[in-house]
Amino acid sequence: MKSNIVNKEEQRESVILSAKNVIRIVLNMSDSIALNHKKKLLSEMLWVITEADGLVAKKRTNYKYKITYISSGTLDKIKTIGEDSPGYIKGLRHEHVFTRSSIINDLLRTPSRMKEILDNAIGCIVTLEEDRKLSDKGKGCNGWERYKSAGVKVYKRNRDLVGEDKFEIFTIE
């Protein structure tokens, strides 16, 4: 019998595969489909992909906030009140490391690089203050460089086979 974590991982992979299939279909749509509609569909699928990490969480409450990458401010909140606390998500943002607009533009410009481009569909949970820093000090940068420029430290979640989480500093190079 499969462990619960293995079943959750299979579900996560299935969700991501489905979203990627939708993206492939959107990229192959004819020009009779309005560009803004294509962008809206692509944006929605990027949300699905970046939130899917949380599907493997031990408890599914607030799963989209239980993804692999979290900021130092988010880790402080976890240590203070816990991820399953009713007030946990207040003041947090699910942020796209590589902006959705940059990923969407790259997909539309070079659909043949879809797999490589979607490797940049990464989410990170940050506090409101860190989100403001990313918007202000991270302007002109994208990806992890934006976090480095804004001075936002990131931790990577590692789950063991029973779903227990450990966090280690993620070095932004």
In the structure, what pLDDT confidence band is assigned to residue 159 with cuts at 50, 70 and 90? Answer: confident
Say what the pLDDT of residue 138 is.
83
In the structure, what pLDDT confidence band is assigned to residue 1 with cuts at 50, 70 and 90? Answer: very low
56 or 4: which leads in pLDDT = 56
- The pair phi, psi for residue 147, each rounded to 5°, is -65, -45
Domain ranges of the chain: 4-170
pTM given for the model: 0.92
Cα(first)–Cα(last) distance of the chain, in Å? 41
Picking from 137, 131, 96, the residue whose alpha carbon sits closest to that of residue 117 is 96
